[in-house]
Structure 1
Amino acid sequence: MRVLHVFKTYYPDTFGGVERTIHAIAKGSLAYGIQSDVLSLSRDPIANTVEFDGHMAHKAKLDFEFASTGFSLDVIAKFKALSVRADVVHYHFPWPFMDLLHVLHPPGKPSVVTYHSDIVKQKLLLRLYKPLMHRFLGSVDRIIATSPNYLESSEVLQGFRDKTEVIPIGLDEADYPRASDDLKANWQARFPKPFFLFVGVLRYYKGLHTLIEAAKDVYADILIAGEGPMESELKDQVARAGLTNVHFLGGVNDLDKAALLELCMAFVFPSHLRSEAYGLSLVEAAMFGKPMISCEIGTGTSFVNKDGQTGIVVPPQNARALAGAMMRMSEKTAEVADYPIYARQHYVDILASKSMVERYSVLYGKLSLCAVN
């Protein structure tokens, strides 16, 4: 069987949450006899069309971007050619140009879409896009929500509930290196006090302004690993507040991230908007058996971090509540003592990629069989 994955970006151009999910499915499904191709856009399609962990990452020429949506004429021909040899086409939403591609050039194959997120930021353009979006979602054979929380809270998904099921996103622990004792010792020497850790792109919806506000009442270091468009603004906020316990690490590689995850007291993830649909950084924290602090925003973050079991969930944009949760973690009371155990078990039982890959492989088989019959 052959599956074609379609999304706006992919390795080596980018490797964010959606891209990592595609990679985990494509790599893991090889064990089920499923070959995968991934089609995305790139400014340098020739150089960036590469083989990656047993599947091909095909690129079409990116012509221009508007409102975070890539447009391409080249992708039409590539989509037609790749979909001809595919048994199933697997779309990853949102990417409005992908919807148009599917509607204008139906692949004639069973199709599934993983609904990673509502469109949150572009509210004005969403009004214009809605008819196309509903036509696209109505025409695919199956829709996958990434958590029961998101299925219940998404108005869009409620309109397609009869064809929607939940398959949580999982990560493969084998893809994560473990840091050496020397590397961990270097980080510990640099930050000898207990610390909270955030890892992610510094975007508008990550709630880091609230974390910095909360830091005024937290007697521990807070390490922020990542880069992004909000970096200067956040550093200015720290400087204005005169905080000495907030440290910006910039981008870190996988080994350094592993070291920091092992060493941190807890993982803090203060995203406050629905643009944060799942939070793979939380899955990474659970993989390392770390207690978590996150916000209740009606998305998969509260599926990954279960309040009172794997960590603490607080209201969004509430610095006092966030600081209180961090101080409770710092005190290491009996209340929080079992969080690391349950976080690790939650990863093993639910959040490892094995379950996700198996369920997608079964779904592909069912769709392909229905098409034959």
Structure 2
Amino acid sequence: MRVLHFFKTYLPDTTGGIEQVIFQLCEGGPAHGVQGEVLTLSPDPVPERVRVAGHEARRARQDLFIASTGFSRQAFGMFSEMARNADVIHFHFPWPVMDVVHFLTRHGRPAVVSYHSDIVKQRALLTLYRPLMNHFLNSIDRILVASPNYQRSSAVLQPYANKVEVIPYGLDRAAYPQCSPAKLEYWRQRVGPRFFLFVGVLRYYKGLDSLLDALRETGYPLVIVGSGPREAALRAKAERLQLRQVQFLGRLDDEDKACLLQLCHAMIFPSHLRSEAFGISLLEASMYGKPMISCEIGTGTTFVNLHGTTGLAVPPTEPLALREAMRTLWDDSELASRFGANAKARFEQLFTAERMCAETARVYREVVAQRAL
């Protein structure tokens, strides 16, 4: 079975949670009889075809990028061509241009959409987009959501309950590099023997302003891995607050990130808006057996991180609550170890790439069979 994934960004141009999900589905699909390929946009699509590990991605030229939405005239023709050779189209929401392509190309293929997140930031534009969005979701054969938390809390999904299915995101531990002793020692010397870790793109909804406020008048070391549009402002704030214990490392390669995941005391993930629908970094922390601190925002972050079981969940944008959670894990190593062990067990039960790929392949087969009736 051939599956075409369609989303506005992808590797190697960008990294993020949705890109990671698509990557895992494409890499794990062949074990379940599914061959995946990706169509995406790029401001510099040369070469047009790129090999990403064991699958291919094609890149249409991005003509415009406004309000977090990429536009491409070339994508319409490329999508039509690739859809003709696909058995299933797998869309990744939100991206309004995708809806337009879906309808104008009249591809006629069974279609699945991964509903990654509600539209949170562009509320004014959402009013204009809502009729198209509802028409799109009505036309899709199956809607996949990554957590029961998001399914329950998303008003958008309520009318489509009969075709929504929960399939948690998953990761493949074998795809992460083994850290050499020399590299581990390098990072141990650079960041210290004990620290909190944040990993992610530095965006508006990540809650890092609250985290920096929480660190005032404390000595808790924090390592921030990632870059993004908020990086300069966050660096300036840390400097203004004289937070000498905060290290901004920028975007790192996979081995360096794996070393820091292995070495950290705990993962802290203070996202405060529903744009953070799941939190792949929390999955990575679980995979490495680390306790977590996250915010209760009604999304998958507290499906991955169960309060009192795998870590602590605090109210969003409350620096004092974040500080208290950090104090708890810092001062009680036995509790932190117990949370970490629980997180790893929960990962093996629910969040492996193998489970995600098997369940998604089952959905592909079901929608194809339903269309054949």
- Residue 217 of structure 1 deviates from its aligned partner by 4.4
Change (3 A) 1:335 1:56: closer
Distance 2:58 2:334 in 1: 51
TM alignment of 1:1-373, pairs within 5 A: 1-332=1-332, 334-373=334-373
The superposition leaves residues 275-323 of structure 1 with CA deviations (integer Å, 9 ceiling, x where unpaired) of 1111101101111100000000111100111111110000001111100
Distance in 2 (CA, whole Å) between partners of 1:252 and 1:205 is: 21
State whether residues 42 and 60 of structure 2, in contact with CA within 8 Å, keep that contact through their aligned partners in structure 1.
yes
| Aligned-partner Cα distance in 2 for 1:232–1:61 | 28
Contact (CA 8 Å) 2:291, 2:337: kept in 1 or not?
no
Structure 2: stretches of 5+ with no match in the other structure: none
Structure 1 runs of 4+ off > 4 angstroms?
Answer: none
What are the Cα deviations for residues 213-244 of structure 1, in whole angstroms up to 9, with x where unaligned? 11124332111111111122112212222222
Distance 1:52 1:255 in 2: 17
The answer as to whether partners of 1:196 and 1:221 remain within 8 angstroms in 2 is yes
* Larger CA deviation: 228-237 vs 287-296: 228-237
- The separation in 2 between residues aligned to 1:152 and 1:71, in whole angstroms, is 32
1:333, CA displacement in angstroms? 5.3
Q: Which amino acid aligns with 2:56?
A: M
- Structure 1 residue 39: deviation in Å? 0.9
Distance in 2 (alpha carbons) for counterparts of 1:9 and 1:236:
29
Question: In the alignment, is the contact (CA less than 8 A) between 2:290 and 2:337 conserved in 1?
Answer: no
What amino acid does structure 2 have at the position aligned with 1:170? G
Cα distance in structure 2, aligned partners of 1:156 and 1:25 = 25
Report deviation, 1:15. Answer: 2.5
- Change in CA separation of 1:249 and 1:45 when aligned onto 2, cut-off 3 Å: closer
Give the Cα–Cα distance (whole angstroms) in 1 for the partners of residues 18 and 210 of structure 2.
26
1:159-198 residue CA offsets vs partner (Å, 9 max, x unmatched): 2111111011111111110211111111111233521111
Provide the C-alpha distance between the structure 2 equivalents of 1:331 and 1:365, rounded to a whole number of angstroms. 50
Q: 8 Å contact 2:9–2:40 — kept in the other structure?
A: yes
Matches of 1:189 and 1:40, distance apart in 2? 40
**Displacement, 1:108?**
0.7
Write the distance in 2 (CA, Å) between the matches of 1:240 and 1:46.
41
Query: In 2, Cα distance between the equivalents of 1:163 and 1:108?
Result: 19
Counterparts of 2:6 and 2:47 in 1: how far apart (Å)? Answer: 19
Shift of 1:106: 2.5
**Letter of the 1:144 counterpart:** L
Counterpart residue type for residue 234 of structure 1: L
SS at match of 2:216: helix
> Which of 283-292 and 214-223 deviates more?
214-223
Please state whether the residue corresponding to 1:45 is helix, strand or coil: coil
SS at match of 2:15: coil
Cα contact 1:194–1:220 (8 A) shared by 2: no
RMSD of aligned C-alpha atoms?
1.3
Letter of the 1:96 counterpart: P
Which range moves more in the overlay, 123-132 or 361-370? 361-370
Distance 1:190 1:38 in 2: 38
Query: 1:193·1:220 contact (CA, 8 Å) conserved in 2?
Result: no
Question: 2:134 and 2:344 mapped to 1: Cα distance?
Answer: 38
Q: 1 CA distance for matches of 2:74 and 2:133?
A: 22
CA distance in 2, matches of 1:319, 1:220: 14
Structure 2 Cα separation of the partners of residues 331 and 149 of structure 1 = 30
Once the two structures are aligned, what percentage of the paired residues are identical? 49
SS at match of 2:90: strand
Question: Normalising to structure 1: TM-score of the pair?
Answer: 0.97
Separation in 2, partners of 1:87, 1:251? 36
Is residue 13–residue 48 contact of structure 1 (8 Å, CA) maintained in 2? Answer: no
Q: In the aligned structure 2, how far is the partner of 1:266 from the partner of 1:105?
A: 47
Deviates more, 1:93-102 or 1:221-230: 221-230
